[in-house]
Amino acid sequence: MNLTYTDIAVNLIGSDLEQNYQSIIDGAAAVGVSQMIIIGSDLTESQHVIDICQQYPNQLYATAGVHPHHASQWQPQSKQQLASLLQHASVVAVGECGLDYNRDFSPRADQRKAFSEQLQLAVETQLPVYMHERDAHQDFYDILKEFRADLSNAVLHCFTGEQAHMERYLELGLHLGITGWVCDERRGQTLAELVKTMPADKIMIETDSPYLLPRSMRPKPKSSKNKPSYLPYIAQYIADLRGEPLEVFANQCQLNTQTFFNI
């Protein structure tokens, strides 16, 4: 079966994948993962991501933004700097941005400010917004709700929350990105139940590589480093949970992704 996939979260730059990125890209393409969204986590990294993506038109696409971990770097001039990065043709979304109260690598007030200003940019550019939320549901919801009506498209990547949160996010019309977290027999149980009920037209799939290696893979990969070439495994796992043929699920995800990012 020749299925085509898009991995909506590859941390190709600033991670363990960077050194061998050509083999990572080739390995993914060989199993049908023919498009990837490469995540920019701060302004410098976003520029680097854009430089790489420009070499792979129609294959690699960039996000540009400041991750909540780096929100303390957000300065008065950051919004203008990000606005100019967003003009590059390979940039398909504003982000990764949001709130992470799990790690609290940046002060929460800084996180809220950086998130709000990036949402403003998404409104001004009408680009989709690419978001992250860990243990910050209420603040995240409140801030997002202010902007939602004026945003074009919005995805919460690596959704791992509970049912009530999922319902509120779906009410806001968000897309939800599902990672190999769902394959984790310890902490992925809730998510494994929730993916059965998610609307088919709101799901996108992602590895978030090199993080979150799917724990159920057998034989277990020698390296704990996750790769975009494992995306078809995650797709099969979710399709099985939903009781759908892989082909139906994978094609729906691909359609959702191409429509969402306009790629």
- Both tokens of 57, joined, read 């038109």
Least Å from the CB of residue 116 to Zn ion: 18
Q: By C-beta, is 132 or 165 nearer to Zn ion? A: 132
Which residue is closest to Zn ion by CB? 132
Binding pattern for the stretch 90-119 against Zn ion, x by CB under 5 A and - elsewhere: ------------------------------
Interface with Zn ion (CB under 5 A), residue from 48, 70, 132, 227: 132
CA distance 139 to 86: 26
From edge to edge, which strands make up the β-sheet containing 129-134?
A: 5-10, 33-38, 60-64, 91-100, 129-134, 154-156, 175-178, 203-205
Q: Give the nearer residue to Zn ion in terms of CB position, either 32 or 211.
A: 211
Q: Is residue 227 part of the contact set for Zn ion (CB under 5 A)?
A: no
Task: Give the number of residues in contact with Zn ion, rule: CB under 5 A.
Answer: 1
* CB of 132 or CB of 227, closer to Zn ion: 132
Backbone region of residue 126 per phi and psi (left: phi > 0; alpha: psi in -120 to 50; beta: other values): left
CA dihedral sign of residues 109, 113, 116, 122: negative
Nearer to Zn ion, 118 or 239 (CB): 118
Spatial distance between the Cα atoms of 214 and 216, rounded to a whole number of angstroms: 6
Interacting residues with Zn ion (CB under 5 A)? 132
